[in-house]
Amino acid sequence: MGERILDVKNLKINFHTYAGDVKAIRDVSFHLDKGETLAIVGESGSGKSVTTKSLMGLLANNAEVVGGSIMYRGEDLLKKTEKEMQEIRGKDIAMIFQDPMTSLDPTMKIGRQIAEPLMIHKNVDKKKAWAQALEILKLVGIANAEERINDYPHQFSGGQRQRIVIAIALVCYPEILIADEPTTALDVTIQAQILNLMKELQQKIETSIIFITHDLGVVAGMADRVAVMYAGQIIEYGTVDEIFYNPKHPYTWGLLNSMPTLSSTKLEAIPGTPPDLLDPPKGDPFAARNPYAMKIDAEKQPPFFKVSDTHYAATWLLHKDAPKITPPDEILRRQKIWQEMQAAAK
């Protein structure tokens, strides 16, 4: 157990729309320990980005937090004013967004964009801030940093721009770094470089990372713990090995089953679409797409069942009276590896 630096409890967020209130985040709780990486995984629209934007106080105008708390250093971020959040944003909690081009100012030299947070948050003078900007530019692997610091965003490639965005996020050495699909727009080799870079920098500056992605493959080498989100709720969470090799929720099975592996040539898609959150179902939100659904799934929302001290899943399949079912072959293959891992650990 590390030192806990962030604790989100029972977070509920609605979006007011012409059609009615969309219940986008429905009772989400998770925590983050010092120096660890928590991955939040789920399909588009599951609520990953909304959850993390609420940590930064960056929700859209039509969003309303209707319940819960976000405790950081003993204080509830939801109770802070915009001015107080501006103090925290960028300095203590920083964010890397999906598309680097929309995060960078096209009219400003990148050196100034990296130096600015230092001048604003840490009152560093211009000369020192530029020197630090140069250091971090080298740290994130931009070649010829001395010359490039005076270039504009359009003079860099996509991968380089993403490195610059990471440099801006890390220049104040934040305690928490939120990375929202930071590698989506990049090709696979650049993606691997960026992920390795984030891991390296994390060790150097002891930042805790919340990593948001729809791609479970990215998570394997990156995260310590994983929370799987579906329809505005967390439905399973555990250590990265527990989620990868001993998953318990049929939705997690579906996500893993749809990942390309060396042994499988056929990719399985999860049939159907997520429920409409204007009118969420009263039972398990995944019931309509779940091939193993039982009658109770349509009637009652499952609680979290404990698999281990670190692993919980919200599925009726874990109830002691539930019928025994056989998971898909890919999941059985993973569970076999899990058993071997457990045996080797003893």
| pLDDT tens readout for residues 15-53 | 999 999 999 999 999 999 999 999 999 888 899 989 989
Q: Tell me how far apart the alpha carbons of residues 148 and 155 are, in angstroms, rounded to a whole number.
A: 9
| pLDDT of 264 | 64
| pLDDT of 212 | 92
| Interior angle at CA 96, CA 90 and CA 185, nearest 5 | 165
207/258 same-domain check: no
Query: Count of domains in the chain?
Result: 2
- The CB density around residue 157, as the number of other CB atoms within 10 Å, is 10
Question: Per DSSP, which regions of 154-292 are E strands?
Answer: 176-180, 208-213, 225-230, 233-239
Is-contact 278 20, C-beta < 8 A?
yes
Q: Is 75 inside any structural domain?
A: no
| pLDDT of 163 | 87
Q: Tell me how far apart the alpha carbons of residues 45 and 229 are, in angstroms, rounded to a whole number.
A: 10
Radius of gyration of the CA atoms of the chain, in A: 21
Q: Is 121 inside any structural domain?
A: yes
Backbone angle region of 116, left / alpha / beta, with phi > 0 → left and psi within -120 to 50 → alpha: alpha
Q: Is 233 inside any structural domain?
A: no
Entry pTM: 0.91
| pLDDT of 233 | 96
Nearest by Cα to 211 from 37, 44, 92: 37
pLDDT digits (tens, 9 = 90+) for 202-249: 888 889 999 998 888 888 888 999 999 999 999 999 999 999 999 999
| pLDDT of 32 | 95
Nearest by Cα to 72 from 13, 31, 25: 31
201/55 same-domain check: yes
Alpha carbons within 13 A on the beta-carbon side of 67? 10
Q: Is 69 inside any structural domain?
A: no
| pLDDT, one tens digit for every residue, the chain (346 residues) | 579 999 999 999 999 999 999 999 999 999 999 999 999 998 888 999 899 899 999 999 999 999 999 999 899 999 999 999 999 998 899 998 777 777 899 999 999 999 998 898 888 999 999 999 999 898 888 899 999 999 999 999 888 888 899 888 888 889 999 998 887 767 777 778 888 888 888 888 889 999 998 888 888 888 999 999 999 999 999 999 999 999 999 999 999 988 877 666 666 788 899 999 999 999 999 999 999 999 999 999 999 999 999 999 999 999 999 999 999 988 999 999 999 999 998 8
Residues of the domain holding 43: 35-62+81-223
337/206 same-domain check: no
Cα–chain center distance at 334: 23
| pLDDT of 269 | 82
Rounded to 10°, the helix 158-170/126-139 angle is 130
Q: Is 4 inside any structural domain?
A: no
266/217 same-domain check: no
Burial readout 250-259 (b: 16 or more C-beta within 10 A, e: otherwise): bbbbbbbbee
If DSSP codes are grouped into helix, strand and coil, which group holds residue 185? coil
The phi and psi torsions of 284 (rounded to 5 degrees) equal -70, 125
CATH of the domain at 118: 3.40.50.300
